[in-house]
Structure 1
Amino acid sequence: MAMRTGSEPSEARSPLRLRMGLAAWGLLWALAGTVIFAELSRIGWAVACGVIALLAAVDVVVVAHRMHQGPHWQPGRNIPPYRPINRR
């Protein structure tokens, strides 16, 4: 088990912006695929792209909600590192 150094809150970075960008990119491509395959009468592929677009849209909403929540409480610099648990 790794010991906490106490500097994690100041060094931690959230992957939410990257996840939002990737979900939006996937949503755009899935929507484009849905439209193109529907116009080509490839209904199975259009449905598959539509399902992927729906999943990407849900992910965009979830990530936007988490970003809107803001940072959660983290212990400050005056909180000492946790000591490892002695398991015997």
Structure 2
Amino acid sequence: MRTGSEPTTARSPLRMRFWLSVWGLLWAVAGTAAFALTERPGWAIACAVLVLIVATDLLMVVHRLHQGPHYQPGPDIPPYEPDRGDNRPRR
């Protein structure tokens, strides 16, 4: 819902989230390999689960980035009226 007070230079944090996910994926894969080599199966499984979570997040971020920017009304469009929760038509 628009309130009319949105900054005109607001940017999506998707690129930052992408790079943080890449960084986390690298560390989680390294942790999985290191714990598997040192025969710590519990920690290796925990890191492998983390790899799955981070990879899923990374795929979602890439999907959103490929969608591109969405239409945002310009400053000449007035803010929307807030939803009052009832379904009555406004007068």
TM-score range, shorter chain: 0.7 to 0.9
Please give the TM-score of this superposition, normalised by the length of structure 1: 0.81
Q: CA RMSD in A?
A: 2.1
- The amino acid across from 1:21 in the alignment is W
Equivalent in the alignment of 2:15: 17
Q: Which structure is higher in RCO with an 8 Å CA cutoff and minimum separation 6?
A: 1
What runs of 5+ residues in structure 2 fail to find an aligned partner?
85-91
Which residue, out of 59, 62, 65, partners 2:63?
Answer: 65
Q: Which range is displaced more, 36-45 or 73-82?
A: 73-82
Aligned mates of 1:60, 1:77 — CA distance in 2: 33
- The amino acid across from 2:72 in the alignment is Q
What runs of 5+ residues in structure 1 fail to find an aligned partner?
none
- The amino acid across from 2:23 in the alignment is W
Shift of residue 77, structure 1, vs aligned partner: 3.0
Contact 1:30–1:50 (CA<8 Å) still a contact in 2? yes
Work out the number of aligned pairs and report it. Answer: 83
Where does 1:1-88 land on structure 2 (aligned, <5 Å)?
A: 3-5=3-5, 8=6, 10-82=8-80
Greater helix share, 1 or 2?
1
Shift of residue 72, structure 1, vs aligned partner: 1.0
Aligned mates of 1:85, 1:49 — CA distance in 2: 44
Aligned mates of 1:17, 1:66 — CA distance in 2: 10
